[in-house]
Amino acid sequence: MAEEKKTTRKKIQAADTMNKIMSDYFYELNDAATTGKRKVAWCTSVGPAELLQALGFAVHFPENHAAMLGATRMSTDLIPAANAIGYSPDICSYLTADIGAYLKGITPLAKAYPGIQSVPKPDVLVYNTNQCRDVQDWMAWYSKKLGVPAIGVTSPKNVNEVTDAHIDDVTRQIEALVPTLEGIAGVKLDMARLRETVNLSRECTELWKQVLETAKASPAPLTFFDGTIHMGPAVVLRGTQRAVDYYKVLLAELEQRIRDGVGAVDGETSRIYWEGMPVWGRLRQHSELFANLKSTVLASTYCSSWIFPSFDGNDPIRSMAKAYLELFIVRSDRYKEEYIKEMIGKFRIDGIIYHDAKTCPYNSNSRYGLPGRVEADTGVPSLVISGDLNDLRCISDEQTKTNVEAFIEQIAEGR
Amino acid sequence: MKTPVFVGIDIGSSRTKVAVIDADRRLLGHSVRKSGTNFSATASTCLGESLETAGARREEIVHAVSTGYGRTNVDFVAAKSKTEIGCLSRWGRDRFSEAITIIDIGGQDNKVIKLDGEGRRASFKMNRKCAAGTGAFLEEMSLRLDIPLEAMDALARESTEMVKLGSYCTVFSATEVLENIRHGKKVPDIVKGLFYSVIKRVLEMDSHDGQVVMTGGVVAHNPYIVEMAGEMAGRPVVLPEYPQLAGAIGAALYALDETDPIGVRNQISAGETHG
């Protein structure tokens, strides 16, 4: 046969430590919900998690759960249940998968963590529309279904430069959440604890940034596919010492790889940037596809979305507002173009792959000519692949494979 | 005398194509068959036929490269696989010395490939996960209209008042076709409308730089599509010799590229001495 020997990316040893941390997190969350020892808040991924942590809530992240539904390839069977009650197949497949899972009484947590039977029942639902409007609609459905309040922040969109006016607006909105959250938590907000939480988030973010930037080395010691897994603690445990401790361990391992000249992919011949969401149900397949082509997908906008340099314990709420506003997804196309060009230089990128996710226009930056403009300015070739984060019905694996193989051929022949 | 030959095998979703070339890049033999359900067996049959037309024997194959949807299903020779985009580009680089845009209409994929003046691939695009504008679209319509595929070109040329089809979707287009039949539209006008739909979908995939060249089975059997494309694009469009074989020839050229030229020369001289 014409197939050559398969190559896979190297396992990161710290994964075992991370799995333990994540396991502890999910069991604590389950314990809070089943015993009532702690109140449970659901929070969208870049919502005011620091505030919730400081008020003592156990925090569940529905987007994290939806990504698990995707990674376990359960989502495609669950999405139709949400479609059937009126949620279009064209809207966020995180939302439809998660609501579908609820309707069917299914969760991947039950299989991964014996003893857990369902997602933790919330006492409050908190969103920030900095991601998209869909998160607000998502929480609104649960609010009605479960009879718990949904409160949140409505962020400005297409922000070019984050100004004081933007920050003032979001600061006021976060402050306005406090009385309601205090009422549900049954405690007053302890500003010292909030400062400490924000400082821990800052520390977590700095370490996560250093982790991602190890990929500047040649060969790169980690890939985008590793990043999507290892960002778990940065997503669900930012603001905690555990996340900080974990990234110190991970960083040490990657720095050792650099010293030893060990790449995540053997014989790295091209360096690729991934723009857009991962295809959660195809992480392994995509990882192997690139590894077999001796190509490393080593940096991404997505994994870098958990870097928040503006967190500052000296001015916690305002710095939270600024950090949430500086998120890539909130920004203007002009900002995004400059950002991607900076990443091309920083990571010495040979080619960019834009994932046009059918149900996530907010994270698909290939629809308004941006790839062509970046390519014209940098000369770095790009490829747009059609797919989706969670709905595998939107994917043609064969077309993805042919496109990626042809793209890597093109890069190799262009040298 | 032993003649070293190089083979390209293009196993597409619809047709399998094999091309046999010599060390001077001349096409010696070729074969095209429906891919069917046993890609490997079809490829083997095509290889046998193309070697026969080339007047060559299996042991004279120096190297082979496979491409296309079934590129990993070749088990009769230790072939290296390349993408069809790569092979079409390799073919274009060999045939043209200026910047070109290759528009390939395949069974399930359309491709627009741009080569710069030095024959380097500048960019490429494939159709999204949709059959609009592909050979599969025409096959579906041929079934709906009960008209053999090979009769479509002549029918389209008879059209006096083309029917325009608006939908992106193959299935919805079929409904539109039936609606036009109900309204008494003439078959040649509908067939020309189908051709127009194919060209429109393909031309709108990308901009077109340099000389425009069309390849693939659809244009091989329906050259009127190329003429119409030229009219619609407002510029001449080239229909090369053997448009359906472009990918297979490109694969054969890769096979030649990957061969040690000294080894080939030695083989030629060995053949001349002992053949």
* Rounded alpha-carbon distances, angstroms, from residue A98 to A257, A390, B194: 37, 10, 42
A3, B129: Cβ pair inside 8 Å? no
**What string of DSSP letters covers B192-258?**
HHHHHHHHHHHHTTS---SEEEEESHHHHH-HHHHHHHHHHHTS-EE--SSGGGHHHHHHHHHHHHT
**Nearest-CB residue to B120 (from A1, A3, A413):** A413
Residue A240's φ and ψ, nearest 5 degrees, are -125, 155
Q: What is the pLDDT of residues A128-171, one digit of tens each?
A: 999 999 999 999 999 999 999 999 999 999 999 999 999 999 99
pLDDT of residue B258: 86
Q: What is the pLDDT of residue A328?
A: 96
Asked whether the beta carbons of residue B75 and residue A403 sit closer than 8 angstroms, the reply is no
Q: What is the pLDDT of residues B89-128, one digit of tens each?
A: 999 999 999 999 999 999 888 999 999 999 999 999 998 7
Residue B104's alpha-carbon distances to A3, A144, A244, in angstroms, are: 25, 52, 53
Of A94, A98, A121, A122, give the one whose Cα is nearest residue A108.
A98
Cβ neighbours of A405 in B, within 8 Å:
83, 86
Interface contact flag, A399 B69, Cβ < 8 Å? no
Average pLDDT of chain A, as a whole number: 95
Among candidates B74, B85, B120 on the partner chain, residue whose Cβ is nearest the Cβ of A414: B120
Q: Could you tell me how far CA A33 lies from the centroid of its own chain? A: 24
Task: Write the residue in B66, B83, B123 that is nearest to A2 by C-beta.
Answer: B66
Task: Please tell me the distance from the alpha carbon of residue B66 to that of residue B83, in angstroms, as a whole number.
Answer: 8
Structural contact between residues A388 and A69, judged by C-beta atoms closer than 8 angstroms: no
Asked if B205 is an interface residue toward chain A (Cβ–Cβ < 8 A), one would say no
Does residue B257 sit at the A interface (CB-CB below 8 Å)? no
**What local confidence, expressed as pLDDT, does residue A183 receive?**
97
* Mean pLDDT, range A400-406, rounded to an integer: 94
Residues of chain B in contact with residue A403, where contact means CB-CB under 8 angstroms, are: 126
For chain A, what percent of residues have pLDDT higher than 90? 96
Q: Contact B85/A413, CB-based, under 8 Å?
A: no
Report pTM: 0.92
Residue B76 has pLDDT above 80, yes or no: no
Query: What residue in A sits closest to B207 (Cα-Cα)?
Result: A372
Q: In chain B, whose CA is at the least distance from the CA of A414? A: B120
Instruction: Using DSSP bridges, classify how beta strands B27-34 and B15-22 pair: parallel, antiparallel or unpaired.
Output: antiparallel
Question: Which residue among B75, B83, B86 places its CB closest to the CB of A1?
Answer: B75
Please tell me if residue B85 touches chain A, with a CB cutoff of 8 Å: yes
pLDDT given at position B209: 87
Other CB atoms within 10 A of residue A380 CB: 17
* Interchain CB distance below 8 Å, A399 and B71: no
**B85:A381 CB<8 A:** no
**Residue in A with minimal Cα distance to B108:** A399
Q: What is the 3-state secondary structure (H, E, C) of B149-203?
A: HHHHHHHHHCCCCCCCCCCCCHHHHHHHHHHHHHCCCCHHHHHHHHHHHHHHHHH
Does the N-terminal peptide bond of residue A219 adopt cis geometry, omega within 30 degrees of 0? yes
Q: Could you report the per-residue pLDDT of A231-251, keeping only the tens digit for each? A: 999 999 999 999 999 999 999
Residue B273 confidence (pLDDT): 39
Chain B residue whose CA is closest to A410: B121
From chain B, pick out residues whose CB is under 8 angstroms from the CB of A358.
Answer: none
What pLDDT does residue B169 have? 82
Chain A interface test: which of B67, B77, B121 (most A C-beta within 10 Å) = B121
Instruction: Give the whole-angstrom CA distance, residue A183 versus residue A177.
Output: 10
Give residue B170's pLDDT. Answer: 81
Mean pLDDT, all residues of chain B: 89
- Report the distance separating Cα B239 and Cα B241, nearest Å: 7
Nearest CA in chain A to B129: A396
Question: Is A402's CB within 8 Å of B120's CB?
Answer: no
Q: Mark yes or no for CB contact B86/A406 under 8 Å.
A: yes
pLDDT tens for each residue of B191-230: 999 999 999 999 999 999 899 999 999 999 999 999 999 9
Cα angle B82, B88, B93 (rounded to 5 degrees) comes to: 110
The answer, yes or no, to whether residue B17 has pLDDT greater than 90, is: yes
Phi (first) and psi of residue B207, to 5 degrees: -80, 170
A-chain CB neighbours of B80 within 8 Å are: 2, 4
Among B85, B93, B130, B206, the strongest candidate for a mutation testing the A interface, having the largest count of A CBs within 10 A, is B85
Put simply, the answer to whether A410 touches B124 (Cβ < 8 Å) is yes
pLDDT score at A385: 95
Task: Tell me whether residues B109 and A386 touch, CB distance under 8 A.
Answer: no
pLDDT at B263 > cutoff 70: no
Cα separation, B66 vs B7, in Å, equals: 8
% of chain A beyond a pLDDT of 70: 98
Alpha helices in B60-186 (DSSP H): 84-95, 135-145, 152-157, 170-182
**CB atoms A405 and B109 under 8 Å:** no
